[in-house]
Amino acid sequence: MSEDMWAGVRDRVLRLGRRPGADKVFGAQGHGFRLGRVMSEDQLRSLEADLGLGLPEEYRSFLLLVGGGGAGPEYGLMTPVLVDGGWTWCGPGLTYPAQPTTAAIARAPFAAEALQGQLDVHETHVPRQDAFASEEEFRRACAAWVARRDELEDAQEAGAVFLTQKGCGYASLLVMTGPHRGAVWEDMRAADEGIGPTVHDFASWYRDWLDRTEHQLGLTPPVVAG
């Protein structure tokens, strides 16, 4: 099933880069329609050993059959790379990489929804200067409020991998743990909208981008023999 899902996809992506007008596609300046090398089964097992869990199947088969990273939605896919004995998703070859994600962060429980509720409550408790006896006490309270907000926002990233940067501080993430495992979520914190779900799993998210880009460039998807 995995092989059928990704049959011909690598060739389709690379064909886009040879098409006139490819440089006008949003994000192309970030990845240039270049795909990284596919990962080996041994590399994937090493990555999964570091994670302490298996990769979502659709994403795992993509890494094995299409590419380790590079061309993809927005400014391009991050790549799992072995750094100092541990695996980290980073952006080699990307002009505008998203935030790196270590295996230690990716294997943590994903709790973005619950944390968003805590953030919403926290936002209603902004310190008011008239509640403090001195300017110094007010400044300390403000600093503590900001530190707690940042702590909650950082915790929202746990259990997910930054897949790609969307620009203007937005990003797409792949959930690695919990009931939403395998789903693509959007990081809209730059617009104070938190981290929320899309309608896509990894395969539909990537193939939707490929279909739209082929349509934009006037290409017809090749017929894959059944």
pLDDT tens, the chain, 226 aa long: 466 889 999 999 999 999 999 999 999 999 999 999 999 999 999 999 999 999 999 999 999 999 999 999 999 999 999 998 899 999 999 999 999 999 999 999 998 877 777 777 767 888 898 888 888 989 888 888 888 877 777 777 889 999 999 999 899 999 999 999 999 999 988 887 788 899 999 999 999 999 999 999 998 876 655 5
Which of 55, 23, 28, 22 is CA-nearest to residue 41?
55
Grouping H, G, I as helix, E, B as strand and the rest as coil, residue 77 is: strand
Q: How far is CA 211 from CA 3, 22, 180, 225, in A?
A: 18, 14, 25, 18
Contact 60, 181 (CB under 8 A): no
Please check whether residue 74 is in contact with residue 31, taking contact to mean a CB–CB distance below 8 angstroms: no
Report the chain's terminal Cα–Cα distance, integer Å.
12
- For residue 10 the two structure tokens come to 């690598």
| Single-letter residue type at 220 | T
| 68 close to 89: Cβ distance less than 8 angstroms | no
Could you list the beta-strand ranges (E) of the chain: 79-83, 86-90, 101-102, 160-167, 170-175, 183-187, 195-201
Q: What is the pTM of this model?
A: 0.86
